[in-house]
């Protein structure tokens, strides 16, 4: 079932809402892609994750479940009288910084509870992480993207976030309906009809949503909402003295790309937060066999892999007494596009350098990218016609690094940039130049750091960081 809602006022984007009850949609093929266990234990449970432009992922657990499996360095302890379990002191970490290139991590000091919190990256690349539970409820924490030497392990500090830039409307979805809010005048500019069926699609019914890729100079935006459960599922799963009934979840199977963006966690219709008793659908288990429930998270890395961690944690980091124990492992999923069979077609961005500083670009500016494709270089060397057939349709995409938690990727946004037909020019020895036009306004892409990929057919390059201002 598909419900499309169009709206236009002046130069506002049309918002189109795509509801997939998904009954008629084929499940994603199990073939393709590869799982890899990166760490059996990073010491904390990855409930929230944020990739920063230094290719480090800041990972948060909750603080109020007792000692984690990772000590703070230098005998440091956290003494927070408002901590539920260890008010007298806790010498373990509840946050880590994961370094992608070296597959290593280090503990970070976190003072207040970040359970059920949110976050975003400010235009200058600083992680702004807000809210939490009890002592963490009223807090804002910030974490700059530091160079990463061990001496700078200061951990999150408090600071006021920059206000969001841009001039668009806010699409808000709750339960089974949506509005468009002009947040500057605080006026509702559009009320969308209640979704067919009327069943709730967010907490505690745990649906998810994703803003689908924005085309160049878009005149509409499309939001996919899926998951959820029939009304009453939550209470029926919580009865203590009568038979507990688990109503089947709304089907969350959209196509594989949507699932990737939306997360790879739970099937549970009603969330019994933290008890970890629910059974994830078999296909939701990673091939490594690790169940990833409601409190798991996943982020896209610059190399195209997805970093996956967390699950429902247990008080006292109880590892043995539960059907789905506290999960400290960290995995990576390499989608089919990273398969070695695609290596000859994989573009490699040569300039700007993928490992250098972020390229600074302004709105509407042209970004020139030099890249190579191995298959083209090989044909050239053989004196062939020069790479014919090895270069498919070249596109350039731009992806915001999102703050992910609870099957949501906050701030997630994928833009397909404008590339003129004549903009792909062949250089020497299998190299090419492509010129992509940056989004025109901050409505399309708020200022900040993005990953930019050159995509040959469906095979993406490793990304580069760009800083849009
Ligand atoms: C806790 O960490 C140690 C290494 O410090 C590791 O051997 C152990 O498996 C971890 N425990 C769990 C439950 O992950
Ligand atoms: C958060 O701050 C408000 C306003 O000061 C206060 O009323 C509320 O109790 C605080 N909440 C928590 C959980 O500390
Ligand atoms: C797990 O939880 C139970 C019940 O709360 C407790 O008795 C037990 O000691 C815990 N085990 C660990 C290893 O903390």
pLDDT of residue 235: 82
pLDDT of residue 288: 66
Ligand 1 pocket test, pick from 38, 327, 328 with the greatest ligand atom count within 8 Å of Cβ, gives 328
d(CA 12, CA 239): 47
DSSP codes of every residue in 92-145: B-SEEEEETTTTEEEEE---S--TT-EEEE-TTS-EEEE--SGGGTT-EEEE--
The predicted-structure confidence for 120-156, as pLDDT tens digits, reads as follows 999 999 999 999 999 999 999 999 998 644 333 334 4
The pLDDT of residue 426 is above 70:
yes
- Greatest mean pLDDT among 8-12, 229-233, 269-273, 283-287 lies in 229-233
pLDDT of residue 127: 97
Ligand 3, atom 14, residue with closest C-alpha? 318
Fold designation for 1-337:
Methylamine Dehydrogenase; Chain H (2.130.10)
The predicted-structure confidence for 385-425, as pLDDT tens digits, reads as follows 444 568 889 999 999 999 999 888 999 999 999 998 767 78
Structure token pair of residue 126: 């600083």
Ligand 1 pocket test, pick from 69, 322, 328, 330 with the greatest ligand atom count within 8 Å of Cβ, gives 69
CA triple 15-394-218, angle to 5 deg: 15
The pLDDT of residue 91 is above 80:
yes
Cβ of residue 316 lying under 6 Å from some atom of ligand 3:
yes
DSSP codes of every residue in 24-64: TSPPPPS-S-EEEEEES--SS--SEEEE-TTSEEEEE--ST
Cβ of residue 318 lying under 6 Å from some atom of ligand 3:
yes
Query: Smallest Cα–Cα separation from 459: which of 330, 320, 339?
Result: 339
pLDDT of residue 386: 45
Residue percentage of the chain with pLDDT more than 70 = 77
Query: Smallest Cα–Cα separation from 78: which of 66, 378, 69?
Result: 66
- Taking the alpha carbons of 381, 386, 392, 398 in that order, is the dihedral positive or negative? positive
The number of the ligand nearest the C-alpha atom of 131 reads 2
- Taking the alpha carbons of 348, 353, 358, 359 in that order, is the dihedral positive or negative? negative
Structure token pair of residue 23: 């009954």
- Give the distance (Å) from ligand 1 centre to CA of residue 325: 13
Are the CB atoms for 466 and 450 separated by under 8 Å?
A: yes
Ligand 2, atom 3, residue with closest C-alpha? 138
The predicted-structure confidence for 63-78, as pLDDT tens digits, reads as follows 999 999 999 999 999 9
pLDDT of residue 132: 95
The predicted-structure confidence for 149-204, as pLDDT tens digits, reads as follows 433 333 444 447 443 455 888 999 999 999 999 999 999 999 999 988 888 988 88
Q: Does the domain at residues 340-468 carry the CATH identifier 2.60.40.10?
A: yes
Question: 304: how many CB neighbours lie within 10 A of its CB?
Answer: 18
The pLDDT of residue 266 is above 50:
no
Residue-averaged pLDDT of the chain: 81
d(CA 437, CA 456): 17
pLDDT band at 383 (very low <50, low <70, confident <90, very high): low
Angstrom distances, CA of residue 444 to CA of 219, 293, 367, 383, 440: 10, 32, 17, 44, 7
Helices marked H in 251-329 = 256-262
pLDDT band at 233 (very low <50, low <70, confident <90, very high): confident
Domain boundary assignment for the chain = 1-337, 340-468
Question: 384: how many CB neighbours lie within 10 A of its CB?
Answer: 11
pLDDT of residue 17: 56
pLDDT of residue 164: 40
pTM of the model: 0.84
The pLDDT of residue 8 is above 50:
no
């Amino acid at each position: 079932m598909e419900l499309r809602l169009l709206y236009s006022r002046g130069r506002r984007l049309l918002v189109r809402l795509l509801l997939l009850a998904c009954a008629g949609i084929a499940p994603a093929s199990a073939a393709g892609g590869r799982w890899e266990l990166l760490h059996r234990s990073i010491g904390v449970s990855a409930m929230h994750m944020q990739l920063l432009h230094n290719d480090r992922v800041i990972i948060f657990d909750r603080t109020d479940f007792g000692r984690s499996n990772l000590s703070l360095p230098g005998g440091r302890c956290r003494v927070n009288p408002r901590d539920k379990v260890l008010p007298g002191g806790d010498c373990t970490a509840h946050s880590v910084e994961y370094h992608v290139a070296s597959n290593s991590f280090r503990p970070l000091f976190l003072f207040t509870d970040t359970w059920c919190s949110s976050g975003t990256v400010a235009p200058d690349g600083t992680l702004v992480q807000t809210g939490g539970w009890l002592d963490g409820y009223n807090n804002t924490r910030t974490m700059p993207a530091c160079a990463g030497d061990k001496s700078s392990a200061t951990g999150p500090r408090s600071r006021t976030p920059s206000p969001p830039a841009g001039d668009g409307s806010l699409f808000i979805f709750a339960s089974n309906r949506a509005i468009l809010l002009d947040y500057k005048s605080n006026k509702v500019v559009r009320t969308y009809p209640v979704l067919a069926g009327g069943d709730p699609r967010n907490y505690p019914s745990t649906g998810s949503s994703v803003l689908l890729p924005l085309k160049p100079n878009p005149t509409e935006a499309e939001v996919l909402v899926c998951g959820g459960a029939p009304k009453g599922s939550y209470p029926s799963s919580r009865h203590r003295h009568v038979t507990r009934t688990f109503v089947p979840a709304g089907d969350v199977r959209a196509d594989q790309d949507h699932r990737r963006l939306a997360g790879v966690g739970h099937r549970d219709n009603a969330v019994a937060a933290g008890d970890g008793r629910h059974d994830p659908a078999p296909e939701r288990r990673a091939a490594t066999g690790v169940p990833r429930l409601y409190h798991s998270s996943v982020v896209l890395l610059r190399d195209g892999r997805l970093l996956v961690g967390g699950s429902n944690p247990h008080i006292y980091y109880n590892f043995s007494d539960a059907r789905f124990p506290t999960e400290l492992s960290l995995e990576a999923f390499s989608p089919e596009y990273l398969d070695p069979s695609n290596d000859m077609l994989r573009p490699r961005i040569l300039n700007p350098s993928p490992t250098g500083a972020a390229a600074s670009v302004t709105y509407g500016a042209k970004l020139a990218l030099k890249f190579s494709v191995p298959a083209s270089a090989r044909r050239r060397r053989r004196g062939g016609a020069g790479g014919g057939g090895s270069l498919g349709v070249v596109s350039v995409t731009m992806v915001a690094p999102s703050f992910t938690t609870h099957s949501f990727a906050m701030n997630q946004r994928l833009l397909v940039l404008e590339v003129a037909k004549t903009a792909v020019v062949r250089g020497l020895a299998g190299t090419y130049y492509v010129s992509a036009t940056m989004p025109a306004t901050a409505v399309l892409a708020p200022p900040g750091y993005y990953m930019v990929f050159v995509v040959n057919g469906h095979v993406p390059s490793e990304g580069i960081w760009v800083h849009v201002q």
